[in-house]
Amino acid sequence: MNAVEWSVILGTGVLIMGFCNDAAAQGAPPYQFNGIVLDSLETDLPKAYKAVIQESDCRPDRLGQKPVKHCSKTFSPHALPGVPSDVKGPVHFSVNYVEGRLQQIGFGLRREDYAAFVAALIKEHGAPQTARSVLMDSVNENEYTWNRGQYSIATYAFGRDTATSTVLYSVIAPVDHQLLERLGVKPRSKRQ
């Protein structure tokens, strides 16, 4: 999967995450990956990552009137700091900033490295809040989600095919109900 395809997937993830949870609790500490803290300023990116992500790996964009900066790069095995040592293949790493604040950390992996990454997440964050089984091309796998207030970690066992997986650390943006109304999206009814 090339960088443009990952950008589309990760950018879409930012928007979807923003519309999924309008009851996110406030005040919970953000998730972090090896010192990269969700909702932190762009200038707070740890030196180890500033050294490996160059400005040429980044592209500016806009989300409505808000400036967005998307940086991504594929790293050879064991070259990206903080990735679990059991991950043997290359890792596509990305960070997405909206108005200078980190909204998403993304990892694209070979699927055979997915279980090792998930095991590291469980070791660090405990049992996930949700787990669900997914099936693609006769391959069955589990996907997991951790939530802490307005912050989330979600694993996706399959990318565009059964050979790739994705892990996203995200800030869940509050739902813009006026925008949803303009788009014709009706609110879900409360379950009884």
Cβ neighbours for 122, distance < 8 A, ≥ 6 positions apart: 128, 144
pLDDT at 100: 94
Average pLDDT score, the chain: 85
Judged by DSSP in three states, 42 sits in helix
Question: Is 191 in a helix, a strand, or coil?
Answer: coil
Question: Does 61 have pLDDT greater than 60?
Answer: yes
Rounded mean pLDDT of 158-179? Answer: 86
Strand partners, 101: 41, 98
Amino acid at 142: N
Q: What is the pLDDT of residue 189?
A: 58
For the chain, what are the domain ranges?
Answer: 3-181
Cα end-to-end span (Å), the chain: 43
- pLDDT bracket for residue 161 (50, 70, 90): confident
Higher pLDDT, 44 or 13: 44
pTM for the whole structure: 0.78
28 or 89: whose pLDDT is higher? 89
Helix, strand, or coil here: 180? helix
pLDDT at 21 over 90: no
Interstrand relation of 66-75 and 91-98 (parallel, antiparallel or unpaired) = antiparallel
Per-residue pLDDT at 37: 96
Please say if the pLDDT value at position 119 is more than 90: yes
Query: Looking at residue 187, what is its pLDDT?
Result: 67
DSSP-derived secondary structure for 85-127: TT--S-EEEEEEEETTEEEEEEEEEEGGGHHHHHHHHHHHH-S
